[in-house]
Structures are given as structure tokens and as C-alpha cells.
Amino acid sequence: MTRVIVTGGAGFIGSHLCRTLLEKGYEVICIDNLYTGSKENIADLLQNSNFEFIKHDITDGIIINAEQIYNLACPASPVHYQNQPIQTIKTSTLGVWNMLNLAKKTKARFLQASTSEVYGDPSVHPQKESYWGNVNPIGIRACYDEGKRLAECLCMEFDRQHEAEIRVIRIFNTYGPNMALNDGRVISNFLVQAIKGDPITIYGDGSQTRSFQYVSDLVNGMIKMMEQDDFVGPVNLGNPGEFTIKELAEKVIKVCNSKSEIIYKPLPNDDPRKRKPDISLAKEKLDWEPIIPLDEGIIKTRDYFIERLKREK
């Protein structure tokens, strides 16, 4: 039985990854400091004899034997990483350093969950892995954007200098069940507002674009990347369907049968105007592409938030 560590495993994406790995017959060790993760996300897994949860911050070292390490530990929402910018930097540097050293010692294959934010506010559209990005290194998003860029650098140096088995993915906007109510990301914000009947808040004029992938598509891509031999990456994992933020708001209002109105507020600093992945490399190397259309994924996520909001009352 393959033993796998998932850092950030109680988070939104991590919890889905843990669940899928268990279904595939892996032994899973979930490590999370619960800053943005929640034990509620993994409550159904705690009784599984092949699952272990360890509350731990990866900025402190840890010794555990495993064959694979998925490193997802890091706040990924602007609300959370801008609230704790220095801790976010430490997680993407010292934390990644610690987990890479663990991978080196145990000879584990290591997958780093990087992000489309390494492209910043891109001047190339769609974004290919060969594009170096357009990032403000001292802006309010830099703790996350530059932290992830440095994490990729660390991974590549471990690959070159220590011949570690490294895999790097760049995750584009992902959504689905287990997102936090206060996540701060656009789909969760819109769904919660629409279900409550509150005004839907668009920052800017709504013409900025994003591409949204359902979480099960991402998890499948992550596992394919981990199991791929002789390919380090980085590789984009995202849905190339491109929508304006206003189009997204209108879709959410429709699927929620909501009477919410749309209101507009100023665009935050350094917010990207466009975001769309070129997934040619993922198709070629991983035989992967997303299969869940946005309308279907929003309905699944809507149902989750309806139940979640009922429990919060």
C-alpha cells in the first residue's frame, strides 16, 4: 500500500484529494495546521483505518516516512493570505524547504501545488508554462504570488542539485464543495450572496475574465501528474473556458433562482484583468483535460452551500 502525505489536507482541495486517494487504496497522512482548513472537511475520513490526521504547521520540521508527498499547505484566498502575509511567505519558503528535505530523506516523490498567480497580471493570453509572468514583487498580493514563485524555484533546485523526484503544477481557479463560507473567492462569494438574497458584489466593472475548474477535475490532474514518470513540469491544470466576472454573477443568480442585485465596487490593486490556461502541455504529457462544465459545477457547489448555510443557522 502506497503511503502518501497531503499537507493542507483538511483544506478545500486537500480534503477532496485525501478522499480520492483513499478510494484508490492509498494510505493517507493528512497534515494541516487548520488555519484555513477544517476538520469538518475530513470528518468522514477520520474513522478510516488508512487515514491519519496530524495537526502541524510545516514551517516546523516533521519526520514521517512516505512514498509520495502532495504539498498543498498555504492560504490560497486573498482574504486569508493578506491577513497573514508573513506566515504565508514562511509557508511557501521555510515550509516548502522542510517538506522538500523530508522528500529527499525518505526518497518520496514530491508534488508542489503552485498557482496561476505566478503569472500575475499577464501580458500573454492564454497563459503557457513558458511565460515568466508579470508580478508586482512588493504589492499586497506578493506574499502569495512571489511566495509560490520562490517555492517553484526551490523545487527546481532540489530537482537539479539533489535529483529529487519533483512534480510542479500550476492550479487555476478551482471551486466546489468544502469551500469555506468566508473563502473570499469569487464563486463562493457569489453563491453565498445569491442564496441569502444579498447583493452580489463585483469588484471593477465585471469585464475581467477568469477560468473555473471543478475540484474533481483538478484532483484527477494532480494524481495523473504525481504518477507520471520523467516529467517535472510545471504544468497548468485549469479549465480553459473563459468567462467575465459579470457573466459568472448572472449564471449564479440564475441557478440560485435569486433576486439578488449586482453592485459594483473598486477593483483591488494588482487584480489580474485576464486569466486563462493553455493546457496543451497537460493534454500531451498527462492525457488530461477537465470534463465538468461550469453550469454543472455551479449547481453541485450551490447545493453544498445551501446545506452548509442551513447548518450555520
Residue 109 CA to residue 165 CA, distance in Å, equals: 5
C-beta atoms surrounding 131 within 10 Å: 16
Residue 180 CA to residue 41 CA, distance in Å, equals: 10
Grid cell for residue 11: 483544506
* Among the listed residues 109, 112, 147, the one whose alpha carbon sits nearest the alpha carbon of residue 230: 109
* Among the listed residues 128, 290, 155, 172, the one whose alpha carbon sits nearest the alpha carbon of residue 232: 155
The residue from 144, 203, 264, 304 that is catalytic is 144
The residue whose grid cell reads 452551500 is: 305
Please give, one letter per residue, the 3-state secondary structure of 5-17: EEECCCCHHHHHH
Residue 162 CA to residue 229 CA, distance in Å, equals: 17
What is the full DSSP assignment across 161-186? HH---EEEEEE--EE-TT--TT---H
* Among the listed residues 146, 171, 292, the one whose alpha carbon sits nearest the alpha carbon of residue 238: 171
Q: State how far Cα 312 lies from the chain centre.
A: 25
DSSP helix/strand/coil, 246 = helix
* Among the listed residues 26, 35, 28, 25, the one whose alpha carbon sits nearest the alpha carbon of residue 6: 28
C-beta atoms surrounding 164 within 10 Å: 20
264 part of the active site: no
Residue 136 CA to residue 131 CA, distance in Å, equals: 15
The one-letter amino acid at 49: S
Mind telling me the catalytic residues? 144
